[in-house]
Structure 1
Amino acid sequence: MFTNYDYTVVERFMRYVQIDTQSDPLSNTFPSTEKQKDLSRLLVKELKEMGITDAELDEYGYVYATIPANTDKKVPVICFCSHVDTSSDSSGTGVKPIIHKGYEGGDISLPDDENIVISPKEHPYLLEKKGDDIITASGTTLLGADDKAGVAEIMDAAHYLMTHPEVKHGAIRILFTPDEEIGRGVDKVDMKKLAADFGYTMDGGEAGSLEDENFSADGAKITVYGVSAHPGSAKNKLVSAIKVAAAIVDALPKDSLSPETTEDREGFVHPVRIQGVAEKAEIDFIIRDFDTNALEAHENFLRTTMDRVVARFPGARATLKVNSQYRNMKEVLVNHPEVTAYAAEAIKRAGLQPLRMSIRGGTDGSRLSFMGLPCPNIFTGEMALHGKHEYVSIQDMQKAVQTIVYLAQVWEEKSRQ
C-alpha cells in the first residue's frame, strides 16, 4: 500500500515543532496559553485543504474534524487523538529541528550546546535505530515530538486516506487537544460533538508499542500553617512553615516510593512543587499506582508522615487535601478487548511486532476511556521526552502513519454489512 507513497509526516513535523505551544500549569485560563491555538489554526487550515470540510477550532482550543466513511458497512466511529501542547519542563521557544541522516550508532552532539549529547548509553533505544534518520532539537530547547509526532502522523494518515479512496473505512474523527501536559487535556472536550465509539491516542514511544494500561492518579496538597514573627524578636515565637514543609519532604523515603527509586508496576508519592513564606507553605504532590485501591494507602502514608513531622513543631498545623486526577484505562478496556486487538493487528500489518506495555503516567486516553471512549495509546516514535535530549526516528513516524491507516482498514473489515 505504501510502496510509492510520498509521506508528508516529516515536512509537517518539522514545521509544527517550530511553533511554540508550551502549556502553563500555573495558568487559570483554558487553554492555559493562547499560543497553543497558533498550531491548532494551522491544522484546521491544512485539514480543509485536504477536503475535510467540517474541520473546526473551538473556543477552548480543540480541533475536531471528520474523514467521511467510504464504505456501505456499518462501522463504529473511531477517533485518533493527539495533543498540541509541549511540556513546561523545558523551553519550547525557538525550536530548531535537525535531521541526522543515516544514524551510525554513536553519540549525537547538538550544535547549540556542546554539553547536550544524546548517547545510546543513556538512551539504548537508539541502538535499534542504526540506519534510521533521527530528528533532534539543536540543544537549547526540547524537540516537541511529544506530541507533535502524533499530530503529524494523524495529519499524514488523514492525507493518505483522503487521497486513496480504495482503502475502505468508516467515519474517522480527529481530535487535537490542548493542555495534556498539565493534566487538563480533555477538561472541555465536547463528547457529543466528538460522537465517536472508540478512540486511540497517538502519544506512545518506541515503534510497535501499544499501551492499554496506565497509572491511576491523584493529586495532593499539604498546606502548612506556621507562626510569623519579626526575626529580630522571634525567639520562642516564630514557627517557620517553610522549615516544617522542608521537614515533611525530607521525611519521605529515600530508597522507595519515589519516581527515582521505582520501576515497572511500583507506585510512588512525589512532591512536584513547594512554595511559601514563614506563615504558610504549600507542597503539591502527585500520587501514582497501577492499582487504584493502592492510592488510598499511599495517601494515608503521606498523612501519617505529615502528622508525625508537624508534631515536632509546637504551634504549627497542617492539612492534606486529595483530588482525583485520572484512573487506569485497563478498567474500561478490559470490557472492549477488540479495541486493543485491532490495534495490535494494524501494528503487525505495518511490519512491526506489537509490544504490549503499561504507561507509568497518563494520556488523554486514560480520561477519555472513563468518559465513554475506550482509548488505548499507540506509538509515535517520540523518545527522551520533556527535555533537550528528545529525539524521534523518521522511519518510526512513517510506521505510525501506516498503523493508523491499517487500523481504519481493520475496523472496516471486521464490521458487518
Structure 2
Amino acid sequence: MSDTVLDRFLRYVVIDTQSDPTSDAQPSTEKQKDLGRLLTAELLALGLADAHLDEHGNVYATIPRNTSKDVPVICFCSHMDTAPDFTGTNVRPQILRNYQGCDITLTGDTSQVIRVASHPQLNKQIGNDIVTTDGMTLLGADDKAGVAEIMTAAAHLMANPQIKHGTIKILFTTDEEIGRGADKVDLAKLGARFAYTLDGSTVGEIENETFSADGVVIEITGVAMHPGYAKGKMENAIKAVSDIVARLPRDIAPETTDGRQGFIHPVDISGSMESAKLQLIVRDFTEAGLKEKEALLEKITREVMATYPRSSHSLTVKHQYRNMKEVLDRHPEIMDNLEEAVRRVGLEPVRHSIRGGTDGSRLSFMGLPCPNIYTGGHAYHSPLEWVSVQDMEKAVETIVALVQVWEERAA
C-alpha cells in the first residue's frame, strides 16, 4: 500500500460517494460506506486496532498516546461524501506535472477550462503538480483531499513513534454536503475534547467562523376559483409567493454580497393557485443580523398578504447551524496551537470566515469545538475542481506539527 497522500487521494476519488438530499436514510446513499469500508481496512492495517465503520457510515479510529504528558484528546475529521451538485460517478483524475501557469483544458470535455483569470490561486502553483478531473465529473477533493491527508498523517505518526503526541481520534463522516454530517456522530464514543476538520481550501487559511444559518418556509393558502368567474373572488397563491420574492431586497442576496455580509435567498417555489410554498435560507455571521433579516422577511410577508385579505399563511423558521466562533472564542488555545503549527510548516496563518457551514459548525455546538484547516482544494462542487499535490502534502505536515504543538504545550 502506498503511503503518499497523492496515491491515497487517487484511490479514494474513484469511489462514488455522492450524497442524496432527497433520501431520509443515514447515510443517504449506501455507496458512501464503500469508502468507509476501505478506510477502516486501511486504518486497521496501520495498527489502529479500534477502527470501525458504524451503521450510519461513520468511521472511528484511535491513535494511542505515546507521551506521559496530560495532553487533551484531539480529533481530526473529514467527510467522505461528495456534493449532489455535479456527478461523482466514474471520476477519472488527471495529473498535470510541473504546472507552468497556463489555462488547463480538461481532456474529457474540452469546453471545460480552468482559467488562471478565474482561478488566481493557480499563480501560486508554478512547478507544482495539479490534479483535475477530465471535465465530466467533479473531482471530490471536497473532501477526499482531507480524508487522504488525515490518513497519510496517521500512517506517518504510526511509523514514527519518536514523534510525541497525545491520544488522537480520527472521524470520517457521511452526508456533510447535505447538512447532516454531524447528525449521527457519537461524541461519547469519540471521546475527544477538541477537533479540527480538514475541509478548507487555500493553504495557510484557517477558518474559525461560519455563517449562522436558518431555513424559512412560507406556506400560503389562497382562494381557488374558476378563472372565468374569478373577478373579485380568486386569490392566487402562486402570485402571492411571487409577490414576496419580488419584494426581497436585491442588496441582501447571495449574488450581491460578499465578505461578512449576510443574505436572504429563495431556494424553492412550489404549489398551485390554491396553495403554494416558498422555501428560503437566511444567512448572517451574527445572531442579531440573522434575526434582523428574518424580521424583514416577516414584514414583507405580512404586507404582501394584506393585499390578499381572504388568504392565509404561515411562516416557519427552522434552526440550521450557528457561527462556530462563538464556541471557539471560549477555547483560544485551539486556534493558537493551530497558528503555531501553520508557522512551523513555513506558512503564514490567515484566519478566514466561511460563507457557509461545515461539520465543525454543528460539532462545536454539540460540545466539540472544531475549527477548519486547509486541504489545498479549489473550485469545489464543479467539474473545474482541482487540488495541488504539494498543498496536500503541506496539510499533512500541518497535522503532524499540530499534534506536536499540543504535546509540547501540555503540562
Alpha carbons of structure 1 residues 111 and 230: separation in structure 2 relative to 1, 3 Å: farther
Q: Which of 93, 103, 106 is the aligned partner of 1:97? A: 93
1:269 is aligned with what amino acid? Answer: I
1:136 is aligned with what amino acid? Answer: T
2:273 is aligned with what amino acid? Answer: A
Check if 1:318 corresponds to 2:313. Answer: yes
Q: Do the aligned residues in 1 keep the contact of 2:72 with 2:194 (CA within 8 Å)?
A: yes
Superimposed CA distance per residue, residues 155-214 of structure 1 (whole angstroms, 9 cap, x where no aligned partner)? 111111111111111110001111111111111111100100111000111011111111
Secondary structure, in 3 states, of the residue corresponding to 1:170? coil
Cα offset, 1:238, TM superposition:
4.3
Distance in 1 (alpha carbons) for counterparts of 2:228 and 2:25: 42
Q: Which of 160, 174, 181 is the aligned partner of 1:178? A: 174
User: 1:197-216, aligned counterparts within 5 Å?
Assistant: 197-216=193-212
Alpha carbons of structure 1 residues 48 and 258: separation in structure 2 relative to 1, 3 Å: same
Q: Which residue of 1 aligns with 2:249?
A: 253
Q: Which of 393, 397, 412 is the aligned partner of 2:407? A: 412
Q: Which residue of 2 aligns with 1:138?
A: 134
Distance in 2 (alpha carbons) for counterparts of 1:175 and 1:31: 15
Q: Which moved more, 1:232-241 or 1:407-416?
A: 232-241
Distance in 2 (alpha carbons) for counterparts of 1:247 and 1:106: 47
1:245 is aligned with what amino acid? Answer: V
Cα offset, 1:89, TM superposition:
1.2
Q: Which residue of 2 aligns with 1:273?
A: 268
TM-score normalised by length of structure 1: 0.95
Q: Which residue of 1 aligns with 2:31?
A: 35
Alpha carbons of structure 1 residues 131 and 233: separation in structure 2 relative to 1, 3 Å: farther
User: 1:220-235, aligned counterparts within 5 Å?
Assistant: 220-229=216-225
Secondary structure, in 3 states, of the residue corresponding to 1:140? coil
Aligned length: 410
Q: Which residue of 1 aligns with 2:5?
A: 9
Cα offset, 1:79, TM superposition:
0.2
Cα offset, 1:313, TM superposition:
3.6
1:8 is aligned with what amino acid? Answer: T
Q: Do the aligned residues in 1 keep the contact of 2:3 with 2:155 (CA within 8 Å)?
A: no
Cα offset, 1:339, TM superposition:
0.5
Q: Which structure 2 segments of 5+ residues have no match?
A: none
Q: Do the aligned residues in 1 keep the contact of 2:32 with 2:57 (CA within 8 Å)?
A: yes
Q: Which residue of 2 aligns with 1:382?
A: 377
Q: Do the aligned residues in 2 keep the contact of 1:134 with 1:391 (CA within 8 Å)?
A: yes
Distance in 2 (alpha carbons) for counterparts of 1:131 and 1:271: 43
Secondary structure, in 3 states, of the residue corresponding to 2:169? strand
Cα offset, 1:92, TM superposition:
1.3
1:39 is aligned with what amino acid? Answer: L
1:61 is aligned with what amino acid? Answer: G
Superimposed CA distance per residue, residues 240-272 of structure 1 (whole angstroms, 9 cap, x where no aligned partner)? 323322232222122x11111111111111112
Q: Which residue of 2 aligns with 1:87?
A: 83
Q: Do the aligned residues in 1 keep the contact of 2:102 with 2:116 (CA within 8 Å)?
A: yes
User: 1:283-294, aligned counterparts within 5 Å?
Assistant: 283-294=278-289
Alpha carbons of structure 1 residues 50 and 230: separation in structure 2 relative to 1, 3 Å: farther
Q: Do the aligned residues in 1 keep the contact of 2:132 with 2:386 (CA within 8 Å)?
A: yes
Q: Which residue of 2 aligns with 1:361?
A: 356
2:188 is aligned with what amino acid? Answer: K
Superimposed CA distance per residue, residues 41-97 of structure 1 (whole angstroms, 9 cap, x where no aligned partner)? 111111111111100111111111001111111111000000111111111111111
Q: Do the aligned residues in 2 keep the contact of 1:7 with 1:398 (CA within 8 Å)?
A: no
Cα offset, 1:332, TM superposition:
1.1
Secondary structure, in 3 states, of the residue corresponding to 1:270? strand
Q: Which residue of 1 aligns with 2:298?
A: 303
Secondary structure, in 3 states, of the residue corresponding to 1:135? strand
Superimposed CA distance per residue, residues 359-394 of structure 1 (whole angstroms, 9 cap, x where no aligned partner)? 111111111111111111100011111111111111
Q: Which structure 1 segments of 5+ residues have no match?
A: 1-5
Check if 1:56 corresponds to 2:34. Answer: no
2:380 is aligned with what amino acid? Answer: L
Q: Which of 143, 153, 159 is the aligned partner of 1:157? A: 153
Superimposed CA distance per residue, residues 22-52 of structure 1 (whole angstroms, 9 cap, x where no aligned partner)? 1122221111111111111111111111111
Cα offset, 1:7, TM superposition:
5.0
1:317 is aligned with what amino acid? Answer: S
Check if 1:192 corresponds to 2:214. Answer: no
Check if 1:122 corresponds to 2:118. Answer: yes
